[in-house]
Amino acid sequence: MLKVDFRNLDLAKKQLAANDFEALKRLLADPATNQLKPEYPGYWGNKDFGFQYDITISGVSQEQHIVLLNFQPFLARKKGKPYPPQVEKLGCSIWKLRTEVSGEPLEKNWLAGCA
């Protein structure tokens, strides 16, 4: 088994542009975001592969936790089970940030499927 020393882990970082930061703040402060369910599973593709985003939103009164399993907004719409708009915006924001910070492209041009 490979042992990894996480004591000196250097995490990738990015400072958001002012307009991106304001858009994210508006999304997180929107009352509709506060009404989201704690989990959004999606079983759209290969059953042997999956990924999960664990999201914590720190609010004024409490933290909100949301889990996105196999987030695929274009497949959800195609199957007639679209995500709520807030979930889609949040998931697509994560995809965009992940691509920009890591420098690694997504498996496909998934951002084109974002509304």
Which two tokens mark 98?
């992940």
* pLDDT at position 45: 65
| Whole-number pLDDT of residue 112 | 75
Pairing of strands 39-40, 63-69: parallel
d(CA 7, CA 4) in angstroms, rounded, equals 9
Instruction: Give the pLDDT score at 65.
Output: 95
Helix residue spans in 1-115 (DSSP H): 18-29, 31-34, 73-78, 85-102
Rg (CA), the chain: 16
**pLDDT tens across the length of the chain (115 residues):** 778 787 887 888 889 999 999 999 999 999 999 999 999 988 766 666 678 899 999 876 789 999 999 898 888 888 898 999 999 999 999 988 988 898 887 777 777 778 6
- How confident is the model at residue 86, as a pLDDT? 95
- In this prediction the pTM is 0.80
